[in-house]
Amino acid sequence: MRRVKLPFATQNEGKIKESKRVLSQYGIEVVPIALDISEPDAGSIEHVTREKLRQVRGMGVDRAMVDDAGIFFAAYHQFPGVLSKRVFQGIGYRGVMKLLAGETRQAWFEGGIGLLWDGEEVFFSARTRGRLLESLPAGVTPDPGFPFDALFVPEGEHRTLAEMLPAERERFSYRVVALKELAEWLRRREGSGNS
């Protein structure tokens, strides 16, 4: 596949870095673009991602990547999900701990990546299963882009995502899985002579 540029409509520096690191291995150059996209606050990760793609298409863009992600608590049906950022901004770590008091700590991250490529829309998704800590770590401060990483322990691990080095975190990243699926799709698409 020839080297391609992939505009990424996000302002989240962590997502940009991770996407660049993963997709560069496939000859894909991620280029951040600033678009005024509203974030729907209802529905599934796929619904929100597809709505973002619809907005991007409406701006006259024909190639772009968007994403959405959220954490889901097994104790609450589809919550916080697409509202993860807003819920955390509203209640913080202490509120999360209070909300889950006496409840199962099972949780999962789910992420979706939407790709608009020459008029075609494609959706890729993945999950990372694990559990949330029973108590708040001393002195914990949220990463602005990934606040739940300080509480989330992936299956088969004893450390939170925040305690891991970036290369270790990638082994558990739902986004990395979805990005690799996107890269393979682009490889097949661009390798077939369609461009």
For residue 98, give every residue at least 6 positions away whose Cβ sits within 8 Å of its Cβ, in sequence order, or none.
Answer: 91
For residue 134, give the DSSP letter: S
Alpha carbon distance 32, 35 (integer Å): 10
Q: Can you read off the two tokens belonging to residue 56?
A: 């991007």
Respond yes or no: is residue 149 known to be catalytic: no
Handedness of CA 92, 97, 100, 105 (dihedral sign): positive
Closest CA to 55 of 116, 112, 125: 116
CA distances, 11 to each of 66, 125, 141, 144 (Å):
11, 20, 21, 12
Of 36, 41, 62, 68, the active-site residue reads 68
- Residue recorded with tokens 């608009």: 116
CA distances, 156 to each of 23, 101, 128, 194 (Å):
26, 23, 11, 41
Alpha carbon distance 180, 169 (integer Å): 15
Active site residues: 68
